[in-house]
Chain A
Amino acid sequence: MDETLLKTPLADEHVALGARMVPFAGWFMPVQYKEGILAEHKYTREHVSLFDICHMGEFTAAGPGAAEALDAALARSVADQKDGVCRYNFLLNEAGGVIDDLIVYRMGAEEFFIVVNAARIAADFAELRKRLPASVKLENLSDSMAKFDLQGPDSTAVLTSLGLDAAALPKYYHWGKFELFGLDMLISRTGYTGELGFELYFDAAHAVDVWRKLLACPGVKPAGLGARDTLRLEMGYPLYGDEMDESTTPVEAGFGAMLKLDKSERVFVGSDALRTVPPKKHLRGLVLEGRRAAHTGTPVLLNGTQAGTITSGTFAPSLGCAVAMAYFDASAEIPADAEFEVELHRAVVKAKLAPLPFWTHGTANPKE
């Protein structure tokens, strides 16, 4: 392997389980285990899978002025976020481009936990430090904190079988503090699969032990980043670097309504640009004819002319066809029933617009 790749505490566990290891965002990570991506994908949709997500970053921001400063630093309001709630948010540059997409957990009046993308840990930390006053202590816990995602409709049953009270488990996009295997854990009802699931944060020193104990629970199987990608693509969830980067605004990526730009006068870094500069492109979902996947950078043609560019695509195991996400020029007139052509490896396939998410039977937030 490439010696410069970073390893999670579980690298040896993955290899022992027969995982195929690949570089991802500078990390040595399992793309799949022995059963393969399709089986892991299906198992997550129907049962419960355990993902090693220790590569992602975690910060805490705490101290007088934290709420007000984070509110001005991030694209969605932090000030009106209640204790116990997780909120998907964006760290933007002045031009409204996405430095990172992240999740903010409110732990108290002036105390926050922030989960960021692995490849953006250093950039986010530096930027947040600049935006927060000296009274706010910003800590990077990424190296000492483990993150496991337990995802799938049976994940509640796994946690209750380990002694957690079902009624006490957090609701969708909420978090709580729990004791599991005698360890203090922060558990949130969040995830990247579209299925009911939890993200578990705890001291990385116990990562191997917790991994083994969770995999020893009846019905729990490991899943790799391959399935994580097919699962998130079926949900139309963006992947930083594919659908979002510093030259893309959250409005362009489809999160305009979430930002409530016209409903409030909130000022945050990037808000001027978002309010005054019209979007240059729009992210749309595409369903391709057949099973062949279109990959990042592939042109999408309409009547022989390039109308868009694929940001990411895959064969969608739950749908049985290929899907993709693509940016289209904001000025282009795209009829809803447009028939596109996508040039693949030695073939041209037809594609049509499709609403996101592609997969509409997810259990992540069922009507309770």
Chain B
Amino acid sequence: MAKYYAESHEWIELDGTTATLGISKYAADSLGDITYVEIPVSGKAVAAGEVLCTVESVKAVSDVYAPVAGTVGEGNADLEADPAALNADPENTWICKLEGVNASDLGGLMDADAYAKFVESL
């Protein structure tokens, strides 16, 4: 499955109309030690660019945005007890699902190569 990235440093992987969402290694590294992950409430409809939840580290607070429109699905409840998992393996640690995602909306996002170049430019 191809992974897509937003300029706000979230990644999503789309399977049918269900997307799995997390934050990039760059985002996790920039935050430092993550101490709290707010699990988004399922059932809420979100527009592209809307705030989904908050991630906190010892020294920073950062919002996580929906890269595409959808409805918040299941959240990764494991992160409540183990927020550090996001630092340990951010690219394989999901925060929540987004349901009802339209594949054509992915066009506005970057693939892994484009995102790597984007991060290098920062």
Q: Does B103 contact A (CB under 8 A)?
A: no
A36 touches B87 (CB 8 A): yes
A31 touches B36 (CB 8 A): no
Q: Does B47 contact A (CB under 8 A)?
A: no
Q: How far is the CA of A347 from the CA of B41 in the complex (A)?
A: 13
Q: Which residue of chain B lies nearest to A41 when distances are taken between CB atoms in the complex? A: B58
Count of interface residues, chain A, beta-carbon cutoff 8 Å: 19
Q: Name the distance in Å between A288's Cβ and chain B's nearest Cβ.
A: 11
A291 touches B84 (CB 8 A): no
Size class of the B contact interface (CB-based, 8 Å)? 10 to 19
A37 touches B36 (CB 8 A): no
Residues of A within 8 Å of B54, CB to CB, are 345-347
Q: How far is the CA of A290 from the CA of B61 in the complex (A)?
A: 15
A291 touches B35 (CB 8 A): yes
Q: Does A117 contact B (CB under 8 A)?
A: no
Residues of B within 8 Å of A291, CB to CB, are 35-36, 56, 83
B36 touches which of A36, A290, A346 (Cβ 8 Å): A290
User: Which chain B residues in 55-70 approach chain A with CB under 8 Å?
Assistant: 56-59, 61
Residues of A within 8 Å of B58, CB to CB, are 37-38, 226, 230, 293, 314-315, 317
A315 touches B35 (CB 8 A): yes
Q: Does B32 contact A (CB under 8 A)?
A: yes
Q: Does A292 contact B (CB under 8 A)?
A: yes
A226 touches B32 (CB 8 A): yes
Q: Does A20 contact B (CB under 8 A)?
A: yes
Q: Does A32 contact B (CB under 8 A)?
A: yes
Q: Which residues of A contact B (CB under 8 A)?
A: 20, 31-32, 36-39, 226, 230, 290-293, 314-315, 317, 345-347
Residues of B within 8 Å of A226, CB to CB, are 32, 58-59
12 residue pairs from A and B, CB less than 8 Å apart: A31-B59, A36-B32, A37-B57, A38-B84, A226-B58, A291-B56, A291-B83, A292-B36, A315-B36, A315-B56, A346-B51, A346-B54
> Which of A226, A230, A314, A315 is the most central at the interface, judged by chain B CB atoms within 10 Å of its CB?
A315
Q: Does B111 contact A (CB under 8 A)?
A: no
User: Which chain B residues in 14-43 approach chain A with CB under 8 Å?
Assistant: 32-33, 35-36, 38
Counted as pairs of residues, one from A and one from B, with CB atoms less than 8 Å apart, the total is: 45
A32 touches B35 (CB 8 A): no
Q: Name the distance in Å between B104's Cβ and chain A's nearest Cβ.
A: 30
Residues of B within 8 Å of A31, CB to CB, are 59
Q: With A38-B33, A226-B32 given, is the CB distance from A292 to B56 under 8 Å? A: yes
Residues of B within 8 Å of A347, CB to CB, are 38, 54
Q: Which residue of chain B lies nearest to A35 when distances are taken between CB atoms in the complex? A: B33
B61 touches A345 (CB 8 A): yes
Question: Could you list 13 further interchain pairs (A-B, Cβ under 8 angstroms) beyond the known A226-B58, A347-B38?
Answer: A31-B59, A36-B33, A36-B87, A37-B58, A38-B35, A291-B35, A291-B36, A291-B56, A293-B36, A293-B61, A315-B56, A345-B54, A347-B54
B35 touches A20 (CB 8 A): no
Q: Name the distance in Å between A351's Cβ and chain B's nearest Cβ.
A: 15
A37 touches B87 (CB 8 A): no
User: Which chain B residues in 74-105 approach chain A with CB under 8 Å?
Assistant: 83-84, 87
Residues of B within 8 Å of A314, CB to CB, are 58
Q: Name the distance in Å between B72's Cβ and chain A's nearest Cβ.
A: 15
Q: How far is the CA of A102 from the CA of B105 in the complex (A)?
A: 59
Residues of B within 8 Å of A315, CB to CB, are 35-36, 56, 58
Q: How far is the CA of A137 from the CA of B122 in the complex (A)?
A: 51
Residues of B within 8 Å of A290, CB to CB, are 36
Q: Name the distance in Å between B25's Cβ and chain A's nearest Cβ.
A: 14
Q: Which residue of chain A lies nearest to B56 when distances are taken between CB atoms in the complex? A: A292
Q: How far is the CA of A315 from the CA of B33 in the complex (A)?
A: 11
